[in-house]
């Protein structure tokens, strides 16, 4: 499912116009992105939690030449699956 499919599904289930649902979905994604940019945790009960974590600097290898390279530390977003979503896979 992509973003368009999500908008169409929500519009069908709610009876709202696709334009309205698109605005809501985009606003929700923007709110999540803004919170993560501010190093805030975003938890959606039953679905999961988005968190920003610091990935330490490390040494890697250039796959083409085999030379060691330094990979800088950086922040990455991780997703922890919520209980209800985890139950789907069982």
pLDDT at res. 24: 97
Residue 86: left if φ>0, alpha if ψ -120 to 50, beta else—which one? Answer: alpha
Number of domains in the chain: 2
Q: Please, what's the largest Cα pairwise distance for the chain?
A: 58
Alpha-carbon dihedral sign for residues 8, 14, 19, 25: negative
Q: Is the pLDDT of residue 30 over 90?
A: yes
Considering the domain architecture, whether residues 29 and 64 belong to the same structural domain is answered as no
pLDDT tens column, 34-44: 999 999 999 99
Q: What is the rounded distance in angstroms from the CA atom of residue 47 to the CA atom of residue 35? A: 17
pLDDT at res. 85: 87
Q: Which residue range is the domain that position 78 belongs to?
A: 39-90
Considering the domain architecture, whether residues 24 and 43 belong to the same structural domain is answered as no
Considering the domain architecture, whether residues 52 and 89 belong to the same structural domain is answered as yes
Considering the domain architecture, whether residues 23 and 43 belong to the same structural domain is answered as no
Question: Is the pTM value of this prediction over 0.85?
Answer: no
Considering the domain architecture, whether residues 64 and 48 belong to the same structural domain is answered as yes
pLDDT at res. 32: 97
């Amino acid at each position: 499912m992509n973003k368009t499919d999500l908008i169409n599904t929500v519009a069908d289930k709610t009876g709202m116009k696709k334009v309205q649902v698109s605005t809501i979905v985009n606003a929700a994604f923007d709110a999540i992105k803004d919170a993560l940019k501010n190093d805030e945790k975003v938890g959606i009960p039953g679905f999961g939690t988005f968190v920003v974590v610091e990935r330490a600097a490390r040494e890697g290898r250039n796959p083409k030449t085999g030379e060691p390279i330094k990979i800088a530390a950086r922040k990455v977003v991780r997703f922890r699956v919520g209980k209800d979503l985890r139950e789907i896979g069982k």
